[in-house]
């Protein structure tokens, strides 16, 4: 099979170094070299064995990954197939993103943000329990929650035998006698918020994930997706590195 080549601006963007527009600016400024020679032609193509430097510094040769943010609707589970015959997100996702895997899951009744990609390394980093990438949710629970309940959440609640769950939560509104919360999770236990809410006697009415790491739901309609821009991918990877460093510091104390 012949090696796949890309226009040099697209290739630079796929490494996460910068956007295609910025890559064009760098080429125009004579700051991009391909195999030691200054690139002057914007139509220059690059293979994965070629060496690119920008301002004298090499950029990584990487395969082309796809990243999207998807607004999951209620009524679908986050898996490729289901032995019980339940509807999955892949029943409604279009063909061009059917190969992507979700970064974590949302249960059937929950809605909101799913990052999806074929970048296995990013999935592993974002879901590894030692890194604790924060996820933010808007949650409506039955009844009026007291501050003591939120303190219990912060200190930790046993939701299953031997499993202690933690969450940071803040009341943002009271609607028809029910409480609307912003909840931040750094763990990834199954149905964690729902089990924590049940444990304090305030079951979840609705749950929507609004943020995961540096990515949010802004501009997305329910059931729709958008490709992440190179700048968003770069920002996310830098965010993960920051969280990883913080985790390493905690472990060294």
Catalytic residues: 107
Which residues make beta-bridge pairs with 37? Answer: 34
What residue ranges in 176-232 does DSSP mark as E strands? 178-185, 204-212, 215-216, 225-227
Place of tokens 């918020």: 193
Give the chain's end-to-end CA distance (angstroms, integer): 51
Residues 6+ apart with CB under 8 A from 236: 67, 115, 122, 213, 214, 215, 228
- The three-point CA angle 56-62-65 to 5° equals 135
> Read out DSSP for 35-70?
TTEE---TT-EE-TT--EEETTEE--------EEEE
Q: What is the C-alpha to C-alpha distance for residues 135 and 213, in angstroms, rounded to an integer?
A: 6
């Amino acid at each position: 099979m012949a090696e796949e080549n890309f226009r040099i601006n697209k290739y630079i963007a796929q490494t996460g170094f910068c956007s295609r527009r910025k890559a064009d600016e760098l080429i125009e400024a004579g700051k991009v070299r391909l195999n030691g020679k200054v690139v002057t032609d914007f139509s220059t193509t690059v293979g994965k064995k070629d060496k690119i430097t920008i301002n004298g510094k090499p950029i990584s040769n990487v395969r082309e990954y796809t990243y999207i943010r998807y607004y999951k609707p209620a009524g679908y589970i986050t898996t490729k197939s289901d032995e019980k015959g339940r509807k999955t997100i892949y029943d409604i996702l279009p063909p061009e993103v059917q190969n992507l895997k979700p970064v974590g899951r949302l249960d059937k009744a929950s809605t909101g943000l799913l990052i999806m990609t074929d970048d296995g390394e990013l999935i592993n980093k974002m879901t590894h329990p030692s890194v604790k990438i924060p996820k933010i949710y808007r949650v409506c629970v039955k009844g009026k929650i007291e501050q003591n309940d939120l303190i219990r959440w912060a200190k930790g609640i046993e939701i299953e035998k031997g499993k202690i769950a933690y969450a940071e939560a803040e009341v943002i509104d009271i609607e028809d006698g029910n409480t609307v919360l912003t909840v931040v999770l750094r763990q990834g236990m199954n149905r964690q918020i729902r089990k924590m809410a049940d444990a304090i006697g305030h079951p979840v009415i609705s749950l929507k994930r609004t943020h995961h790491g540096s990515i949010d739901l802004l501009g997305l309609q329910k059931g729709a997706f958008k490709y992440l821009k190179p700048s968003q991918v770069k920002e996310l990877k830098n965010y993960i590195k920051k969280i990883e460093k913080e985790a390493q510091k905690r472990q060294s104390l």
